[in-house]
């Protein structure tokens, strides 16, 4: 069974600094997607960034980038120039392409606080 | 921009009562999901739905839960006899095609069981 692990329950960063959130996953599939979702206090799930497993190039979205290490099954999120609005719960998630359901499997989440 | 909408945003119910949570997925999407998040915990998969039938369900999705898409637009989650431990945020999500990228989530329905 596929699993997603986020080993950092909480992280803190100073405004304008850089922070990296860790995520590892376990799967025997070769085709899959990886995602980072942001959940602010409103509890809405907001997609931050996604990575297709077949792509070697790491995905980047403005201040957000990932370090995707397929062999190590690692998928970390780097937030550069952190802003107060980045404070939220961040979930790493995995989705296989093979099975019909296409469900997302989430990690436990990392609560990020940003200090002014 | 198309979005997934959920109603109600918050429902309070008595233990043992039936609850129906409603979702309107994005119109051209083919796959539909319900997820649950108990306060302070991770987001858990409940069920996926495709071609008018359940394609996968988790251990959480027992006989007390059911889903249906009665009219081609709404996608509902019914809890027949709510328990205290059903108190959670319930998220609906939809996906256009299996090989496309992300699931699109609604804003969630908060269920409080007293």
Q: Domain locations in chain B?
A: 5-113
Contact between B23 and B106 under an 8 Å Cβ cutoff? The reply is yes
Under 8 Å between Cβ of B104 and B93: yes
**How open is the CA angle B37-B14-B54, to the nearest 5 degrees?**
45
Answer whether A111 touches B (CB < 8 Å): no
Hey, is A10 helix, strand or coil?
Answer: strand
Asked whether the predicted pLDDT for residue A62 surpasses 80, the reply is yes
Strands (DSSP E) along B1-114, which ranges? 5-7, 10-13, 19-24, 31-37, 44-50, 53-57, 65-68, 75-79, 88-95, 104-105, 109-113
**Chain A residues within 8 A of B50 when measuring between CB atoms:** 100-101
> Domain coordinates of chain A in residue numbers?
3-115
CATH tag for A3-115 (out of 3.40.1210.10, 3.40.30.10, 3.30.565.10, 2.60.40.10): 2.60.40.10
In a mutational test of the B interface, the residue from A45, A106, A107 whose CB has the highest number of chain B CBs within 10 Å is A45
Q: Which residues of B touch A35 (CB under 8 A)?
A: 102
Convert the pLDDT of each residue in A69-96 to its tens digit.
999 999 999 999 999 999 999 999 999 8
CATH 2.60.40.10 fits B5-113, yes or no: yes
State the pLDDT confidence band at A101, using cuts at 50, 70 and 90: low
Residue A52 in tokens: 């297709």
Contacts of B101 in chain A (CB under 8 A): 33, 50, 52
Q: What does the pLDDT profile of chain B (114 residues) look like in tens digits?
A: 778 999 999 999 999 999 999 999 999 899 999 999 998 888 999 999 998 999 999 999 999 999 999 887 899 999 999 999 999 999 999 998 777 778 899 999 999 999
Cβ contacts of A85 within 8 Å, gap of 6 or more: none
Q: Which of residues 59-88 of A touch B (CB under 8 A)?
A: none
* Per-residue model confidence as pLDDT tens digits over A8-34: 999 999 999 999 999 999 998 888 999
Q: Sheet containing B75-79: give its strands across.
A: B5-7, B19-24, B75-79, B65-68
Contacts of A102 in chain B (CB under 8 A): 31, 48, 95, 98, 103
CB A67 within 8 A of CB A79: no
Bridge partners of residue B94, in order along the sequence: B32, B104
DSSP state string for A71-112: TTTEEEEEE-S--GGG-EEEEEEEEESSSSS---EE---EEE
């Amino acid at each position: 069974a596929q699993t997603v692990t986020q080993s950092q329950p909480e992280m803190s960063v100073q405004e304008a600094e850089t922070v990296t959130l860790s995520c590892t996953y376990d799967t025997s599939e070769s085709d899959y997607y990886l995602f980072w979702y942001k959940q602010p206090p409103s509890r809405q799930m907001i997609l931050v960034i996604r990575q297709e497993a077949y792509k070697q190039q790491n995905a980047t979205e403005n201040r957000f980038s990932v370090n995707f290490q397929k062999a190590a099954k690692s998928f970390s999120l780097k937030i550069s120039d952190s802003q107060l609005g980045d404070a939220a719960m961040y979930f790493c998630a995995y989705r296989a392409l093979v099975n019909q359901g296409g469900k997302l499997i989430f990690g436990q989440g990392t609560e990020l606080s940003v200090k002014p | 921009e198309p979005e997934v909408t959920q109603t109600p945003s918050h429902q309070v119910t008595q233990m043992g009562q039936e609850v129906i949570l409603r979702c309107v997925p994005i119109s051209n999407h083919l796959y539909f999901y319900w997820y649950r998040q108990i306060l302070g915990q991770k987001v858990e998969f409940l069920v996926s739905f495709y071609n008018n039938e359940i394609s996968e369900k988790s251990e959480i999705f027992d006989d007390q839960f059911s889903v249906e898409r009665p009219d081609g637009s709404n996608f509902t989650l019914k809890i027949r006899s709510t328990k205290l431990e059903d108190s959670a945020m319930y998220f609906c999500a939809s996906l256009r095609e299996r090989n496309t990228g992300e699931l699109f989530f609604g804003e969630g329905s908060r269920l409080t069981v007293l």
